[in-house]
Structure 1
Amino acid sequence: MEIIVQGRNAEISDRFREHVADKLAKVEQFAPRAQRVEVEVTHEAHLAQTDVTEKIEITVVDKGPVIRAEASASDRGAALDLATTKLIERLRRVRDRKKDHRRGSNGQEPSELNIDLKELNADLVAEQPREETVPTEPGQAVEQQLGDSPVIVRQKLHEASPMSVDQALYEMELVGHPFFLFIDEDTKQPCVVYHRHGWTYGVIRLDTTVTD
């Protein structure tokens, strides 16, 4: 399993790379077929939150659903510990779900999903100019400044396999997002599931269909 460590506004020492490899050694126990693990380290300068300056995002690239966890702290090592703990818990859920399927279970129902609201972070969505460069390959990310403003727009292209609403809710939990875009396997419509409040979820559907 390959572990890739990248920095955004941050320098990554060889010692920290070794520390990351040691922390993520357990990943293979829960995801033995994982192709690689991508770790992104970001140094964030928050004027209002001077104690939160280091963010770690870990993504496991496997043949199954994308599994991601992120955390922020004033210390890079502490952020790594928090993100790793979240990641291992989500990998454990995937393993348990696979065991349920092998026993003939339908897995968890949406009402059984355990989402920690403190982990959910809404993404900033900014209006994008038409001339902006867009990613053309799955997994590729493109960043561009929005006009003369300090706003940076980051776009990433994901593969979209048709799935049920239940599966979309499950994968939303695995990446720790408050929403998840997908193609409904029954209607072929582009949809988004999102968390509303408590154990309530919503589904937004676009009035169009995707043709093969």
Structure 2
Amino acid sequence: MNIYIRGEKLEITDAMKSYAKEKLERLSKYVKDSDVNANLLFKINGIKQKLEVTIPLKNFTLRVEEVGDDFYAVVDTAVDKLERQIRKNKTRLENKQVKSRIDFDFMSFDEKDEENANKIVRRKQVELKPMDEEEAILQMELLGHDFYVFKNIDKDGKISVLYRRKNNDYGLIEEE
């Protein structure tokens, strides 16, 4: 597993890199392909530290965000969450061939724009690939998101939005 670590408004020390790499190596036993990239982004948000881990695999993407006071605790919790995601979805991943993956491209904006609540402060461009509703649920769960946009193969490739309702059921918005 190739591990890429970078910091935003934070200098990552060799000790921090070593600790994060050691912890992420635990996940190698779940990944058959040795040429997998794990991307870690550390950010400082006030006094809190935030870690975003993204691991794009062949047929899906693992992603987790964790916030905390201590760098090492944030790394531990994030790796534990990733391991739980893998174990929780192991059967579904083994029994179902997931056919698509969404890659996110993040665009940065000036900090003064982010302070204005009526402005769009983050944009994502996604490549929508066809999948059925079950695959969309799996992808949404693996990413840890509350919604997921996809081309619904059950509806002739029309765009659909899958979302988690307050009672933890799912809702689906479909293009007419």
Instruction: Report the TM-score range of the alignment, normalised by the length of the smaller protein.
Output: 0.7 to 0.9
More RCO (CA 8 Å, sep 6+): 2
Q: Would you say the 8 A contact 2:114–2:121 is kept in 1?
A: no
Tell me how far apart the structure 1 counterparts of residues 64 and 113 of structure 2 sit (CA, whole Å).
32
Q: 2:100 corresponds to which residue?
A: none
- Return structure 1 stretches of 4+ with deviation > 6 angstroms: none
* 1:39-50 equivalence runs, <5 A: 39-45=40-46
- Two-structure CA RMSD over aligned residues (Å): 2.2
Secondary structure at 1:11 match in 2: coil
Which of residues 168, 171, 175 is equivalent to 1:202?
A: 171
Secondary structure at 1:177 match in 2: coil
Tell me how far apart the structure 1 counterparts of residues 112 and 45 of structure 2 sit (CA, whole Å).
22
Q: 1:13 corresponds to which residue?
A: 13
Q: Would you say the 8 A contact 1:30–1:95 is kept in 2?
A: no
Tell me how far apart the structure 2 counterparts of residues 148 and 62 of structure 1 sit (CA, whole Å).
34
The structure richer in strand per residue is 2
1:153 aligns with 2:114: no
User: Are the structure 2 counterparts of residues 72 and 100 from structure 1 closer, same or farther at C-alpha, using a change threshold of 3 Å?
Assistant: same
Aligned residues: 166
Which of residues 185, 193, 197 is equivalent to 2:153?
A: 185
1:166 aligns with 2:161: no
Q: 1:144 corresponds to which residue?
A: 109
* 1:103-142 equivalence runs, <5 A: 138-142=103-107
Identity of aligned residues (%): 27
Tell me how far apart the structure 1 counterparts of residues 110 and 153 of structure 2 sit (CA, whole Å).
36
Q: TM-score, normalised by structure 2?
A: 0.84
Tell me how far apart the structure 2 counterparts of residues 69 and 149 of structure 1 sit (CA, whole Å).
23
Q: Would you say the 8 A contact 1:146–1:153 is kept in 2?
A: no
Q: TM-score, normalised by structure 1?
A: 0.71
The higher radius of gyration belongs to 1
Tell me how far apart the structure 1 counterparts of residues 51 and 114 of structure 2 sit (CA, whole Å).
26
Q: 1:40-93 CA distances to partner (integer Å, 9 max, x unpaired)?
A: 111101xxxx5xx01111111111111111111111111111111111111223
Larger deviation: 34-43 or 156-165?
156-165
Tell me how far apart the structure 1 counterparts of residues 88 and 15 of structure 2 sit (CA, whole Å).
31
Q: Would you say the 8 A contact 1:55–1:72 is kept in 2?
A: yes
What letter corresponds to residue 109 of structure 2 in structure 1? Q
Q: 1:150-171 CA distances to partner (integer Å, 9 max, x unpaired)?
A: 2472323333221111111111
Q: 1:101-138 CA distances to partner (integer Å, 9 max, x unpaired)?
A: 59xxxxxxxxxxxxxxxxxxxxxxxxxxxxxxxxxxx5
Secondary structure at 2:73 match in 1: helix
Tell me how far apart the structure 2 counterparts of residues 15 and 149 of structure 1 sit (CA, whole Å).
32
